[in-house]
């Protein structure tokens, strides 16, 4: 305890034996000395105002001038703050600390006790098994994380990162020496050498492996988190992105892979994982059986409920009314991982659950509801499991309760087996969503009501993202309306949208009459589905002509034929978005 006694008794704190190790100026050291004396008197934590008043007196608010010195000591790690609402020290102003309590940190107490922060490491000895080696490697990642955290939160001083970096260097040297003394080849070390992975690639791999073992909230799977782990500054962050880009060694060698998610700014966020074959060879080196990540398309033929859709259009390819587009963009932002993270932090959402959204697309036939559902999935980097609800009565007569549940049970089973999050699309969901029968009901009505009640229960407890499309919202049961987070109306396209639809759908290489003007066609009130059908029908008729040239008159005839045969009501339907 000679170091402690010297620090307590020395008149000029600059003469203390540990002064140089403190890496601070005399005013900060005086605060530490005063707190050390209080500590010896039994005061673990002292008000900052009180300790500064002891040193500088209470006249003319002299103590307030020295608040910055307390912040410096907190940043250096020599003090800890007592607060019910912990805050990042780098973000707090000195004046906010005035009425806080502080005490000597464990690092400071260790320094006063031993005169050094270095621990006596045990003797170097061989690793007894693979798990003992992994334990050291995971501790190595913890130190990398600590350094990353210090770089992000502490700007004025570097003592904390210097200490952590020194500790990391000692650990890495120790790991290498123990590996050299281990006669039996360690699986992970052997794997690193076979794949010729450099230090940064190894750190990325071990960080992902640690996530697999710890079953955490996957905080280190994000691309930016992994890059931050191995980068000292902005230049290195830019340079190190190449380690996780397509074409990198880790991805080309089939060591790691990634899943993508659209972020709120329109970019793509990548979450990485170790490829299953590699993961199993590391976790279970004695097992020869390879466990592969199952794909949806490999399982979809084993069931007869869903159609697997691989969307080939994104939301950028869909022509929609401005209001509908804005609602979808807002939806995209609200299902982003960063936003979901905030909801988890606020206690609104369960950390273990994924993205939950129950959505109704409603509006006239041909307004692009199904295509938009596919395009939304493409933008979210998801596949679609589609179920045609119009088949429900013919498929499940007499077994509605059992088989309606089977729709959702099969969906969850496919998600679990493939470790994926496809979107469940219920097309033409009018059978489910319509108002339930009341009063005197027939046996068929009872069966239909029972089927709807089960469907209502499944919607209430649904896990994931579900989209239901319907044309007839005027008869929707209010109980269903309350269960959907988003109700998005698809209106018939206006003039400007119709121009875009004609421009997109008209054959690009076909011959057109010199007087051909798309605006003339756009004057007709048509949906996207109708325009597509009219173009196809017109093309068939023009193609058989001796001089095949598209004219406005050709299209006008088909438009009149389509409108005469159109049984859709022109009245407005639906309800307000909520």
How high is the pLDDT of residue 122? 56
How high is the pLDDT of residue 29? 92
Residues 244, 250 contacting (CB under 8 angstroms): yes
Residue 381: CA count within 13 A, CB half-sphere: 16
Q: Is the pLDDT of residue 235 over 80?
A: yes
What is the Cα–Cα distance from 178 to 403, expressed in whole angstroms?
A: 60
Give the closest residue to 495 by CA, choosing from 539, 538, 531: 531
Average pLDDT for 369-388: 89
Q: Is the pLDDT of residue 430 over 80?
A: no
Q: Is the pLDDT of residue 337 over 70?
A: no
Phi-psi region of 247 (alpha: psi -120 to 50; beta: other; left: phi over 0): left
Would you call 100 helix, strand, or coil by DSSP? coil
The class level of CATH for 495-564 reads mainly alpha
Give the closest residue to 360 by CA, choosing from 577, 569, 571, 572: 577
Q: Is the pLDDT of residue 555 over 90?
A: yes
Is the model more confident about 219 or about 353?
219
Q: Is the pLDDT of residue 190 over 80?
A: yes
CB within 8 A of 184, min separation 6: which ones? none
Phi then psi dihedrals of residue 311, to 5 deg: -60, 140
Q: Which of 151-155, 161-165, 312-316 has the lowest mean pLDDT?
A: 151-155
Neighbouring C-beta atoms of residue 564, cutoff 10 Å: 7
Residues 577, 487 contacting (CB under 8 angstroms): yes
Give the closest residue to 147 by CA, choosing from 211, 203, 222: 203
Q: What is the pLDDT of residues 287-300, one digit of tens each?
A: 544 444 567 777 88
To 10 degrees, the CA torsion angle through 374, 376, 380, 382? Answer: -20
How high is the pLDDT of residue 454? 84
Mean pLDDT of the chain: 80
What is the Cα–Cα distance from 136 to 216, expressed in whole angstroms?
A: 19
pTM of the model: 0.49
The CA-CA-CA angle for residues 424, 426, 431, to 5°, reads 150
Residues 429, 469 contacting (CB under 8 angstroms): yes
Q: What is the pLDDT of residues 505-534, one digit of tens each?
A: 999 989 999 999 999 999 999 988 899 999
Instruction: Find out if CATH 1.10.10 is the number for domain 2-114.
Output: yes
Structure-block tokens of residue 472: 């007839």
What is the Cα–Cα distance from 80 to 366, expressed in whole angstroms?
A: 64
Residues 105, 112 contacting (CB under 8 angstroms): no
Q: Is the pLDDT of residue 90 over 70?
A: no
Q: What is the pLDDT of residues 477-504, one digit of tens each?
A: 677 777 888 888 888 889 999 999 999 9
Element (H, E) at 82: strand 79-82
Q: What is the pLDDT of residues 17-41, one digit of tens each?
A: 989 888 889 999 999 999 999 999 9
Would you call 78 helix, strand, or coil by DSSP? coil
How high is the pLDDT of residue 520? 93
Phi then psi dihedrals of residue 352, to 5 deg: -80, -20
What is the Cα–Cα distance from 553 to 566, expressed in whole angstroms?
A: 20
How high is the pLDDT of residue 258? 83
How high is the pLDDT of residue 542? 92
Q: Is the pLDDT of residue 167 over 90?
A: no
Q: Please give the share of the chain, as a percent, with pLDDT higher than 90.
A: 20
Element (H, E) at 424: strand 423-427
What is the Cα–Cα distance from 529 to 505, expressed in whole angstroms?
A: 10
Q: Is the pLDDT of residue 436 over 70?
A: no
pLDDT band at 220 (very low <50, low <70, confident <90, very high): confident
What is the Cα–Cα distance from 249 to 256, expressed in whole angstroms?
A: 9
Instruction: Locate the domains of the chain by residue range.
Output: 2-114, 130-283, 298-490, 495-564
Average pLDDT for 320-349: 77
Residues 174, 89 contacting (CB under 8 angstroms): no
Q: Is the pLDDT of residue 442 over 90?
A: no
Please provide the distance, in angstroms rounded to a whole number, between the alpha carbons at the two ends of the chain: 68
What is the Cα–Cα distance from 136 to 127, expressed in whole angstroms?
A: 10
Residues 559, 521 contacting (CB under 8 angstroms): yes
How high is the pLDDT of residue 439? 56
The CA-CA-CA angle for residues 541, 554, 363, to 5°, reads 95
What CATH number is given for 298-490 in this structure?
3.40.50.300
Average pLDDT for 412-433: 85
Q: Which of 55-59, 421-425, 512-516, 567-571 has the lowest mean pLDDT?
A: 567-571
What is the Cα–Cα distance from 79 to 48, expressed in whole angstroms?
A: 11
pLDDT band at 572 (very low <50, low <70, confident <90, very high): very low
Q: Which of 54-63, 144-153, 159-168, 382-391 has the lowest mean pLDDT?
A: 159-168
pLDDT band at 84 (very low <50, low <70, confident <90, very high): very low
Sheet holding 46-47, edge to edge: 46-47, 101-104, 79-82
Q: What is the DSSP letter of 246?
A: T
How high is the pLDDT of residue 289? 46
What sign has the CA pseudo-torsion 539, 544, 545, 546?
A: positive
Tell me whether the CATH fold assigned to 2-114 matches the one assigned to 298-490: no
Beta strands 307-309; 384-388: pairing state? antiparallel
Residues 27, 63 contacting (CB under 8 angstroms): no
Q: Is the pLDDT of residue 46 over 80?
A: yes
Phi then psi dihedrals of residue 25, to 5 deg: -90, 175
Question: What interhelical angle do 495-505 and 528-543 show, nearest 10?
Answer: 40
Structure-block tokens of residue 225: 């988190």
Q: Is the pLDDT of residue 574 over 60?
A: no
Q: Is the pLDDT of residue 576 over 80?
A: no
């Amino acid at each position: 305890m000679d170091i402690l006694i010297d620090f307590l008794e020395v008149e000029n704190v600059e003469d203390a034996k540990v002064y140089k190790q403190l890496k601070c100026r005399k005013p900060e050291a005086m605060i530490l000395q005063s707190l050390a004396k209080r500590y010896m008197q039994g005061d673990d934590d002292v008000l900052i105002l009180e300790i500064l008043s002891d040193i500088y007196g209470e006249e003319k608010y002299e103590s307030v001038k020295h608040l910055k010195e307390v912040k410096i000591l907190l940043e250096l790690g020599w003090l800890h703050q007592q607060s019910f609402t912990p805050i990042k020290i780098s973000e707090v102003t000195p004046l906010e600390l005035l009425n806080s309590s502080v005490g000597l940190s464990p690092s400071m107490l260790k320094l006063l006790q031993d005169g050094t922060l270095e621990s006596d490491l045990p003797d170097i000895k061989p690793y007894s098994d693979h798990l003992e080696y992994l334990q050291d490697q995971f501790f190595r990642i913890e130190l990398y994380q600590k350094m990353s955290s210090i770089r992000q939160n502490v700007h004025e001083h570097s003592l904390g990162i210097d200490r952590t970096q020194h500790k990391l260097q000692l650990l890495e040297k120790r790991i290498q020496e123990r590996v050299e003394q281990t006669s039996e080849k360690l699986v992970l070390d052997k794997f690193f050498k076979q794949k010729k992975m450099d230090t940064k690639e190894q750190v990325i791999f071990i960080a992902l492996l640690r996530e697999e073992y710890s079953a955490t909230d996957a905080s280190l799977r994000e691309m930016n988190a992994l890059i931050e782990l191995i980068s000292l500054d902005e230049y290195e962050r830019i340079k190190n992105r190449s380690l996780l880009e397509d074409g990198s060694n880790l991805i080309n060698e089939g060591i790691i892979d990634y899943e993508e998610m659209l972020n709120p700014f329109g970019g793509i966020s990548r979450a990485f994982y170790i490829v299953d074959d590699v993961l199993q060879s590391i976790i279970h080196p004695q097992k020869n059986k390879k466990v592969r990540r199952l794909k949806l398309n490999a399982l979809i033929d084993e069931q007869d409920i869903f159609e697997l859709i691989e969307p080939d259009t994104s939301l950028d390819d869909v022509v929609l009314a401005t209001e509908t587009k804005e609602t979808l963009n807002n939806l995209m932002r609200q299902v982003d991982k960063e936003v979901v993270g905030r909801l988890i932090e606020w206690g609104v959402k369960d950390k273990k659950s994924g993205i939950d959204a129950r959505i109704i697309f409603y509006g006239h036939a041909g307004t692009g509801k199904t295509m938009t559902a596919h395009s939304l999935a493409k933008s979210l980097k998801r596949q679609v499991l589609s179920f045609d609800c119009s088949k429900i009565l013919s498929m499940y007569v007499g077994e509605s309760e059992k088989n309606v549940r089977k729709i959702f049970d099969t969906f969850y089973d496919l998600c679990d087996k493939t470790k994926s999050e496809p979107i469940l699309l219920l097309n033409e969901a009018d059978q489910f969503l319509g108002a339930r029968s009341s009063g005197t009901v027939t046996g068929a009505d009872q069966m239909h009501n029972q089927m709807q009640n089960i469907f209502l229960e499944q919607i209430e407890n649904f896990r994931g993202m579900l989209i239901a499309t319907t044309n007839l919202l005027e008869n929707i049961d209010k109980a269903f309306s309350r269960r959907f987070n988003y109700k998005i109306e698809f209106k018939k396209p206006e003039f400007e949208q119709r121009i875009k639809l004609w421009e997109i759908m008209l054959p690009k290489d076909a011959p057109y009459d010199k007087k051909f003007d798309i605006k003339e066609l756009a004057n007709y009130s048509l949906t996207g589905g109708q325009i597509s059908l009219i173009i196809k029908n017109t093309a068939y008729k023009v193609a058989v002509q001796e001089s095949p040239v598209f004219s406005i008159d050709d299209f006008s005839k088909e438009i009149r034929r389509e409108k005469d045969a159109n049984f859709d009501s022109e009245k407005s339907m639906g309800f307000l978005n909520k």
